[in-house]
Amino acid sequence: MALVVLACSALGGCAAWNAPSTYPHDWPALSLEGSAQGCPDVDGTYEDQAVSVGGSGVDPATPRSLLALLKRMPAAAFSPAPRGRPVQPWTAPVSVRGVTLVSGPQALELRFEGAVPASPPAHFRYTRSALLETVLDDAYVCDLLPDGARLHFLAEIDAVAGGAPLLGFGLTRTTVSFYRARDASLIVRWGWRSDGVAVVVPYGRARDAWLRFRPLPLPGGASPSAAPARLP
């Protein structure tokens, strides 16, 4: 670390922010339709394992399943408790057959199909504030981007590191965004970013990846013909 700091100081600064990877051109186009809040219509049941993975940030550490992505979510989102009672810790299932997404005007529920062991649904709430989304465990934001409608939330603060005053500080976080493709598959953008300051010199690293999940086939090979009933 000392060598890195000295090298950065000698060069007058260090920065390694990578340009975000673009959506794979050979995948189905993203849906541009969104709700009044700008949320994509992601309702449906999807296979746990990604059928395709793309992007410049793909490496062995890139999650390949919805369950692996969701295990990075803050535990509070998975721990609904009656008012006045302590929040119960969420125990992630070892495996799932698929994940069902059910949305409403102000909420999103994730259900784990064929979970072993059985696991309660995850609950998230909509907020219009990007700042609140970064500080609340169970909040998400939506927006209409040029390439498609997006549902986005900060999945996890992976690490916070600090040193002596004026020497350094760092923050590493993971983000997850949901999109819907025009072929009804669920598209997930997974991002990892680390930013900080070393001897008043900013530095950063980032990588991201795109994952595509197909609708979960019903018994007999048929695809679901309708999305689950929406939340009120």
Q: Give whole-number Cα distances, 52 to 67, 119, 149, 191, 209, in Å.
A: 16, 26, 20, 16, 11
Is 18 inside a domain boundary?
Answer: no
Structure tokens at 193: 């970013």
Is 149 inside a domain boundary?
Answer: yes
Structure confidence at residue 225 (pLDDT): 38
Is 153 inside a domain boundary?
Answer: yes
Structure confidence at residue 4 (pLDDT): 39
CA distance 139 to 119: 20
Question: Residue 208 is part of which domain span?
Answer: 52-77+127-213
Cβ neighbours of 220 (radius 10 Å)? 5
CA distance 65 to 211: 9
CA distance 190 to 195: 17
> Residue 55: left (phi > 0), alpha (psi -120 to 50), or beta?
left
pLDDT band at 231 (very low <50, low <70, confident <90, very high): low
In the chain, the number of structural domains is: 1
Closest CA to 125 of 140, 110, 104: 140
Is 96 inside a domain boundary?
Answer: no
pLDDT band at 45 (very low <50, low <70, confident <90, very high): very high
Pairing of strands 122-126, 139-145: parallel
CA distance 180 to 189: 11
Per the CB < 8 A criterion, the answer to whether 85 and 79 are in contact is: no
pLDDT band at 154 (very low <50, low <70, confident <90, very high): low
Q: What's the sign of the alpha-carbon dihedral 146, 41, 214, 98? A: positive
Average pLDDT, the chain: 73
Per-residue pLDDT reduced to its tens digit, 197-228: 665 666 667 778 899 999 997 655 544 434 55
Is 101 inside a domain boundary?
Answer: no
pLDDT band at 129 (very low <50, low <70, confident <90, very high): low
Structure confidence at residue 12 (pLDDT): 44
Interacting residues of 223 by C-beta distance below 8 A, sequence separation 6+ = 184, 215, 217
Structure confidence at residue 178 (pLDDT): 93
Is 150 inside a domain boundary?
Answer: yes
Is 116 inside a domain boundary?
Answer: no
